[in-house]
Amino acid sequence: MTYTEKSGSRFEQIFIDEPLRKFLYENEITLDNYLSHQDELKKLFPDEESYHTFLNAYLSSSGIISYRQFLKAPQKIDLFLHPRYIQQRPHIHDFYEIKYLLKGSGTVHISSELIFLKQSDLCLISPYVPHSSEIYSDDAIMVNLVLPSEHLQCLLPRVMSFPNIFQQYFSPDQTLSAESRFLHCSTKQDPEIYRLVQSLLEYYSKKKGRTISGNLISEAYLEQIFLQILSLQPAEKEEERNRINEEQTLETMTAYIRENLQDVSLSEISKLLHFSTPYTSKLIRKKTGYTFQMLLLILRMEKAAELLKGTDWPVDRIAAEIGLTGKTNFYRQFKNFYGMSPATFRKKE
């Protein structure tokens, strides 16, 4: 028998033997041309129902694939093997997908780009990006891993706690840019990453990854994979990349503070950037020399000066606009900062 069906996620429902997969691959079977091969295809299935289930699962377009269709609590990730010899139609889904070539080679089509993956290569694909992928040989093994964006912070707390290529790639500000559609990484056939991926695969093949303890172990393996890839980056390139990332992060942070002077907080900014609060505080001090509260005061005073020069607003309105309560407090802070009262500053300017 060439076809079997099992209950489970949509990615586990259909298993196809190699002869059928080769037939599909060699004849480039798609939804557009399967009718011309329908008689031959039907012979490879035990019954009509199985044949149509196959078409629905692998050939027809079913809109946006959502991880909510198959990822059940307490699972936060899922893993499956990519089928060989399948001419996959472009599709989109609402989660990040990680593709790792455990063995052999393959390709990933992302929008109009074609990416060649060799053994131990890893490719991250962003949500809502049209893509398809293929592997060609009997011994090729491509591991696909589902990674919902809403679980990133709890799945990768250490990876997301400092500037690096993955933290930048997963940043909410990057998800709509052309550069963030995918991230192609060579793991340099690192044996530790290979071992970790194999361990993940073993957990899911034996259903261990769907138990509570198995979930936690699988999540730990996943973060180890990301951290190990980061450890392979050349030190000097990583340092320069970190410097650029930190400067870009500071710009984003400063712009957000300016837009939210009334009620902004350090914890709010940390959540926005997917950083821990201590790391955010440390980054501000490193790049500016100031604490968060001092930086906030500087930006408030700059805005106050701008309003004093450019408007005829009364002082209490300006104080409220920049998030300082009380006219007396505003006068004191402004005079300490500029060496003169707001009224004197306005007349002088």
CATH at 293: 1.10.10.60
pLDDT score of 53: 72
Same domain, 139 and 285: no
> What pLDDT score was predicted for residue 15?
44
Predicted pLDDT of residue 12: 33
Report how many domains make up the chain. 3
What pLDDT is stored for residue 21 in this prediction? Answer: 61
194 and 227 housed in the same domain: yes
DSSP 82: P
Are residues 307 and 190 part of one domain? Answer: no
Contact between 105 and 116 (Cβ < 8 Å): yes
CATH, residue 87: 2.60.120.280
Based on the fold, state whether residues 225 and 239 are members of the same structural domain: no
pTM over 0.95: no
Same domain for 166 and 247, yes or no, is: no
Q: What is the pLDDT of residue 68?
A: 78
Which domain-ending residue is among 60, 76, 91? Answer: 60
Domain with 9, as residue range(s), is 1-60
CA 231 to chain centre: 19
Q: Say if residue 18 is in the same domain as residue 92.
A: no
Which of 170, 200, 231 corresponds to the end of one domain? 231
Indicate if 119 and 70 belong to the same structural domain: yes
Q: Which residues of the chain have pLDDT under 70?
A: 1-22, 24-25, 28-33, 56-64, 87, 111-112, 172-180, 206-210, 235-241
Work out the number of other CB atoms within 10 angstroms of the CB of residue 106. Answer: 24
Listed residues 182, 209, 231: the one ending a domain? 231
Do the beta carbons of residue 126 and residue 182 sit within 8 Å?
Answer: yes
What pLDDT was estimated at residue 61? 46
My answer on whether 49 and 125 are in the same domain is no
User: Quick check: 81 and 123 in contact, CB under 8 A?
Assistant: no
